[in-house]
Amino acid sequence: MPPIELKLIIEALLFCSEKPLSVAQLQQQLVMRASDCSELTDPVDVPSNMQNTLSGMQGLVRHELESAAVEPVVTVYGQPAQVPIPLATADEICQALSALQSDYQGRGVQLQEVASGFRFQSSIEVTPWVLQAKSQKAPRYSRALLETLAIIAYKQPITRAEIEDVRGIAVSSHIVRTLQERDWVRVVGHKEVPGKPALLATTRGFLDYFNLRYLQDLPALADLRQPVTEATDITV
């Protein structure tokens, strides 16, 4: 088994991790589990011996690592290792992380530090292409909202009380707020009557949404095909 740069192990580990990993977590995970360290120099010395590569491993452990291509877990007399040997200091891990961060500059993925640690994620520039497909359907607006919007569009400027007059039912503040938040309706003034109610009108955003240039491009009510039973009403 050829010596592996610590950076590459961290790289793969972060890519294969479901959650961000902190430096402490990385340090905790980057260990060799050996129950017999007698062949090693003092375990404390291991990290400094190893620098950025694991080539510094000596004796039994090194031999085991090279032969065990599949499982680098150190076994001693067939027993799984018990005492984990740290592979790197926090400093070395930090160095590897910042090296990785610069390696991935300008790539489609980048190493990002978030609250709980480091993780690879798609770069901002390519995010639109990687966005999770819309799993949920867009919600639908209520009939009341549609009617309110229609009345404002056709009879603007109009107060809420006047809308309620036409609809014959109260207009909830929620509907008016939703229409304002979508930038379809806004307050254009206040009527000189007791209470000075707000006058609502449609916005440019409303016209844009419906691909209209002017308000008069809105279909005339007569354009709406009437059901046969109501045909006589049209001529009224």
Partner 1 sequence: MSASLAVQQVITLHQDIDLNQSSSIEEIPEMEIFALINGQPLRQMPQDLYIPPEALEVFLETFEGPLDLLLYLIKKQNLDILEIKVAEITRQYMDYVALMEAFQLELVAEYLVMAATLGEIKSRCLLPRPPGAEADEADPRQALIERLQNYERFKKAAEQLDHLPRCEREYLPINLPRPLQADIAEILPTILLEDLLSAFKEVIERAGLYEHHHIFREPLSIRERMTRILAALQRQALLPFAEVFDVKEGRQGVVVSFIAILELIKESLIEIVQAALFAPIYLVAKTGIACDAPD
Task: Give how far Cα 81 sits from Cα of 35, 61, 77, 130, Å.
Answer: 4, 11, 10, 42
Contacts of 75 (CB under 8 A, 6+ apart): 64, 68, 81
Contact 112, 121 (CB under 8 A): yes
Closest CA to 199 of 164, 231, 152, 166: 152
Cα–Cα dist 164/171, whole Å: 6
CB closer to its own copies out of 144 and 212: 212
Size of the site for its own copies (CB under 8 A): 54
Q: Least separation, in Å, of the C-beta of 218 and its own copies? A: 16
198 part of the interface to its own copies, by CB under 8 A: no
**Near its own copies in 25-84, by CB under 8 A:** 29-33, 36-37, 40-41, 68-73, 78-80
The two structure tokens encoding residue 217: 């491009």
Contacts of 12 (CB under 8 A, 6+ apart): none
Return the bridge partners of 185, or none.
Answer: 202
Closest CA to 7 of 85, 102, 93, 72: 93
**Near its own copies in 92-111, by CB under 8 A:** 106-109
Task: Tell me the per-residue interface mask from 25 to 64 with partner 1, x by CB under 8 A, - otherwise.
Answer: -----------x--xx------------------------
CB closer to partner 1 out of 62 and 186: 186
Cα–Cα dist 158/191, whole Å: 9
191 part of the interface to partner 1, by CB under 8 A: yes
Which of 24, 68, 83, 215 touches partner 1 by CB under 8 A? 215
Q: Least separation, in Å, of the C-beta of 181 and its own copies? A: 12
198 part of the interface to partner 1, by CB under 8 A: yes
236 part of the interface to partner 1, by CB under 8 A: yes
Cα–Cα dist 94/44, whole Å: 19
- What does DSSP say about strands 79-80 and 83-86: parallel, antiparallel, or unpaired? unpaired
**Near its own copies in 136-175, by CB under 8 A:** 137-138
Candidates 55-63, 81-89, 95-103, 129-137: pick the segment binding partner 1 (CB under 8 A): 129-137
83 part of the interface to partner 1, by CB under 8 A: no
* Positions in the binding site for its own copies (CB under 8 A): 1-2, 4, 7-13, 15-17, 29-33, 36-37, 40-41, 68-73, 78-80, 106-109, 120, 122-123, 125-135, 137-138, 208-209, 211
